[in-house]
Chains A and B, each alone.
Chain A
Amino acid sequence: MKETKEYTLYNDTVMDHFLNPRNMGDVSEADGIGEVGAAACGDIMKISLKIRNGKIEDARFKTFGCGSAIASSSMATELIKGRTLEEAKNFSNQEVVDALGGLPPVKIHCSVLAEEALKAAIEDYETKVKTGVLPTVTA
């Protein structure tokens, strides 16, 4: 038995991303915003993106949810920064789970929420481009 204070609900990586979330906030003048909710538990996640020359230049999140939802959104934004839109469209929640060193089975849906928020943000960006709200990128 270790000391009480040495026990944590999640592994060190998840705890680190929960306690010190990366990219928390809103991208100012975002090019794409995705806000999704999990019907299962009621969590809500919002990802905003800055897109330059077909690449994700900046990604930020805000999350109403549990520790693993916050850690998942922190990790997801960390992973997708610098990726092209095409790469980001193929982004899978499994990447978040792996990078976090695993999530409890009941919390896998938190990583799915992060994937959905990212994809909703890309969709929002593409709709803006299509409708002429944002210029088409030719790079």
Chain B
Amino acid sequence: MDKRSVYLDHQTTTPLLEEALQAMLPYFREAYGSPSSLHRYGLQVREGLQEAKAQLARMINAESWEDLIITSGGTESSNLAIKGFADANHRKGNHIIVSATEHPSVMNSVEYLTKHGFEVTQVPVDTIGRINPEDVRAALTDKTILVCVHLVNHDIGTIQPVKEIAKITAEKGIALYADALAAAGWMPIDVQDLGVQLLSFSPHRFYGPKGIGVLYRNRKARVTSHIHGGVQEGGRRAGTENVPAIIGAGVAADFAVREMTQRIKHVSMLQNRLYDGLWKTIQYIKLNGPEPGPLRICNTLNLSTEFIEGEGQLLLLDYQGIAVASGSSCVSKSLKVSHVLSAIKLDHALAQGNIIMSLGKDNTVEDVDYVIETFPKIVDKLRNMSPMWKEFEEGVIDSVISPTGRGKSFTEHAAAISGKPAH
């Protein structure tokens, strides 16, 4: 098979939709006004902006486009949701609940608040990354003001029982913030049906432009501004609007809504084909997160291949034209495995061999077949280079995925030769 270019990192970012780009272009050129201006240049842009916000609001079934705060990205949206809500409601209590597998923008916003008098409880997840709503209930105190639970995990694709959790928080009158970063564009989202008070998403994850994020805020949920200046975004987020990006995001949202059923169908089919194909040809491979189906987002597979490391796999795949991500410690700047993999208690050796493949609407059956043909060769090449593979074959160490009962665990072996356990 010839080398192809196969982009399988749609959970990181997606290409810009051509229709979104075309809609954006006039706003770089003739429609350059600021929506705050009262002259015709301003008014012209204001109209386009309102339509784009309406498109974004429809995507999540918000009551009104006025319930959306436009930010610079998903990260700013999470920061505003958490710090802004905490700030506005600190008199009611100082306790916040998060799940253990939230995005770093949520984890680190909450961590910041602990330095400013807030207390945080992390609710654990099970081995497929699911939160038990009853654990959220058990973590509630009379000081709890906010619960933060993502709709879908960005690494392992687990869909969370947000609606069930919302029933619990509603009973107690506590706000629920759902980060929909990994979900938006890949599953229908209805803020009213879910019963969340805050929800954020990032259009560049579904073919919109980078540099724009959305925060939905129910009118009952107060959020204090953290970017101070003029009265843009209803006074909750100052700064002249990134007009072209908002226009592009609106178009991307509109297409996502119209093509949702078709995209899910196509991408699910590819996900199943990729899963079946890889598992048929590669031994000692583990799926992290739920099986493809109702508990897993349609576009993401997170896998661990035993006895080899993730960055090597990523580089060899890249060399063959296949772009993927990895949660291995070698890939991270902190040399730590992804906190999501730690939270599902994945063995360190398997976390090291981690690869994330996330599909998109433009991937084809041929792309997937190319990956199924290429990846096993890469695994063989790296296993041939790995001392662990031979030591496994000789019975010195055992497999975590399919234990044979011979030899010690990889982790014990690694700790013995490095002097201390890997983290």
Contacts and interface: CB of A to CB of B under 8 A. Distances in A.
A67 B417 contact: no
Interface stretch (B21-29, B113-121, B252-260, B384-392): B384-392
Contacts of A21: 385
Interface string B348-392: 110010000000000000000000000000000000111110100
Contacts of B386: 62-64
A139 interface: no
A36 B390 contact: no
Greatest chain A CB density within 10 A among B308, B312, B349 is at B312
Interface stretch (B193-201, B288-296, B327-335, B338-346): B327-335
A44 B414 contact: yes
B54 to A, nearest CB: 35
B402 interface: no
B414 A18 contact: no
Contacts of A42: 309, 329, 337, 348-349, 352, 414, 418, 422
Interface in A40-86: 40-46, 62-67, 69-70
From A42, A46, A62, residue with most partner B Cβ within 10 Å: A42
Contacts of A63: 385-387
Q: Identify the interface centre among B321, B337, B386: most chain A CB within 10 Å of its CB.
A: B386
B40 interface: no
Given A26-B390, A42-B348, A64 B420 contact: no
A106 B422 contact: no
Interface size class of B (residues with CB under 8 A): 35 or more
A1 interface: no
SS class, residues of chain A in contact with chain B: mixed
A44 B410 CA distance: 11
Contacts of A8: 318
A67 B422 contact: no
Interface in A1-60: 4-5, 8-9, 18-19, 21, 24, 26, 35-46
B221 to A, nearest CB: 40
B330 A18 contact: no
A30 to B, nearest CB: 13
Given A41-B329, A42-B414, A64 B311 contact: no
A19 B390 CA distance: 20
B284 interface: no
Nearest to B315: A67
Nearest to A34: B417
A78 to B, nearest CB: 15
A19 B318 CA distance: 12
B335 A106 contact: yes
A103 to B, nearest CB: 13
A40 B315 contact: no
A39 B307 contact: no
B319 interface: yes
B422 A39 contact: yes
Interface string B105-118: 00000000000000
B193 to A, nearest CB: 41
Interface in A97-117: 106
The listed residue with most B CB atoms (<10 A of its CB), out of A8, A9, A26, A64, is: A64
Of A4, A36, A43, the most chain B CB neighbours within 10 A belong to A43
A36 B422 contact: no
B312 A70 contact: yes
B422 A65 contact: no
Nearest to B329: A41
B387 A62 contact: yes
Given A42-B348, A67-B315, A62 B418 contact: no
Contacts of A37: 414-415, 417-419, 422
B387 A106 contact: no
Interface of A: 4-5, 8-9, 18-19, 21, 24, 26, 35-46, 62-67, 69-70, 106
Given A36-B418, A39-B421, A44-B417, 9 more contacts: A35-B387, A38-B418, A38-B422, A40-B422, A42-B349, A42-B422, A44-B418, A62-B390, A67-B315
